[in-house]
Amino acid sequence: MKIAIASSDGKNVNLHFGKANSIYIYDFDGENTNYVEHRTVDIIPNEQHQWSKVLNTILDCDVVISLQAGFKPRFGIENAGLKNIEDEGSIEDVLKRYIDHYNFMKN
């Protein structure tokens, strides 16, 4: 499963989905998570409604984790077949929380 994380610094989940100009991609193979790549999105400062640019950048992913997503972006994410997670903290902690929850629900 590919997990997209909205982060400005590669260390913390700290970007709103619609303004995420920096996305870090991780792969979860059922046991381990591994960093795959960093993607950038051409977000224009102070312009609204750019969430579709972000979504188009992560369409090959299964899950997106961001600080927050608005109503329309949430609908777009879910309509594209991705799972939307809102969380904050270090990427390491957020990934652990998501994976723990995923494994708990799977079993």
Which fold does the domain 2-106 belong to in CATH?
A: Nucleotidyltransferase; domain 5 (3.30.420)
Annotated domain spans of the chain = 2-106
Instruction: Give the containing element (helix H, strand E) for 83.
Output: strand 83-86
End-to-end C-alpha distance for the chain, whole angstroms: 17
Q: Is 10 left (phi over 0), alpha (psi -120 to 50) or beta?
A: left
Which residue type is seen at 5? I
pLDDT tens digit at each of 107 positions of the chain = 999 999 999 999 999 999 999 999 999 998 899 999 999 999 998 888 899 999 999 999 999 999 999 999 999 999 999 999 999 999 999 999 999 999 999 88
The model carries a pTM of 0.94
Cα separation, 98 vs 3, in Å, equals: 10
